[in-house]
Amino acid sequence: MNHHSGSSAKRKPATARGAKTRAKILRAAETVFAERGYEHGSIAEVAKEAQVALGTFYIYFPDKKSAFTELVDELGRKLRASLREATAELEDRLEIERVGLRTFLDFTTDHRGLYRIVRQAEFVDEPTYRRYYTSLAEGYAQALSRAMDKGQIRDLDPETVAFCLMGLADFLGMRWVLWKQAGDDIERTLDSAVKFLQHGLAVAEPPQSSPRRKARASKTKGKKS
């Protein structure tokens, strides 16, 4: 129904009590949808998990789907905030990528359930799913573009690189977080992955100690001066 941003809720709670109940339901939905999947998880289960009656769910959400999409949007915001915060102080793009990858994997570890939820969104509500990745990719591509202009990284199509890096991170999360196995060494994996992506991005001359290279006039599409 409501294509716009904030109003997926049927009614926003007017009291603290209501807000608390709504939050309880959302957390329960997270648990149920993550464990049983969207299609197999029932509102009855969600209500039970939240320790409220069935009908209570419909006081706060117009239907099953909207609780789900709210979870996806929430996760997107949290992840972007997490990445932003972790890399806020950093200047060098290669360094940012290293920290960003680790942050992503940590985030995934702390939110296994939500990770599964996003992936299901593709088949529950495509627009929500796309929004999750495109909004991530947008900021990513922009940052990469700026780093290219500054000559910090190789000059490539920013959107392409953004998707490459997201896909890489996504699969590492799938394999080393969701499918974690006995002998796995995530540090070794992170190390290899970072080497791979840094060399993929790095400009011809390897960075040594002064990451403040002046932008050589290579092929920069003369953005800022």
Partner DNA sequence: GACGAACCTGAATGGTGATTCATGATTCAG
Partner DNA sequence: CTGAATCATGAATCACCATTCAGGTTCGTC
Give me the residues that bind DNA (CB under 7 A), please. Answer: 11, 13-15, 17-19, 21, 40-44, 52-59, 63-65
- Residue 91 and residue 160 in contact, taking contact as beta carbons nearer than 8 Å: no
- Residue 90 and residue 159 in contact, taking contact as beta carbons nearer than 8 Å: no
Give the span between the Cα atoms of 41 and 53, in whole angstroms. Answer: 16
Q: Residue 171 binds which one of a second copy, DNA, none, with CB within 5 to 8 A depending on kind?
A: a second copy
The H or E element that residue 72 is part of is helix 64-87
Binding mask 107-126 vs a second copy (x if CB under 8 A, - otherwise)?
A: ------------xx-xx---
56 binds a second copy (CB under 8 A): no
Residue from 77, 84, 195, 216 binding a second copy (CB under 8 A): 195
Residue 91: strand, helix, or coil: coil
Smallest gap, in angstroms, from Cβ of residue 29 to DNA? 11
Q: In this structure, is the dihedral angle defined by the CA atoms of residues 5, 10, 16 and 17, taken in order, positive or negative? A: negative
- Residue 25 and residue 57 in contact, taking contact as beta carbons nearer than 8 Å: yes
The one-character DSSP state at 10 is S
Q: Residue 31 binds which one of a second copy, DNA, none, with CB within 5 to 8 A depending on kind?
A: none
168 binds a second copy (CB under 8 A): yes
Smallest gap, in angstroms, from Cβ of residue 75 to DNA? 21
Q: Is 213 left (phi over 0), alpha (psi -120 to 50) or beta?
A: beta
Q: Using CB under 8 A, list all residues that contact a second copy.
A: 37-39, 119-120, 122-123, 130, 133, 137, 154, 156-157, 159-161, 163-164, 166-172, 174-175, 179, 188-189, 191-193, 195-202, 205-206, 223
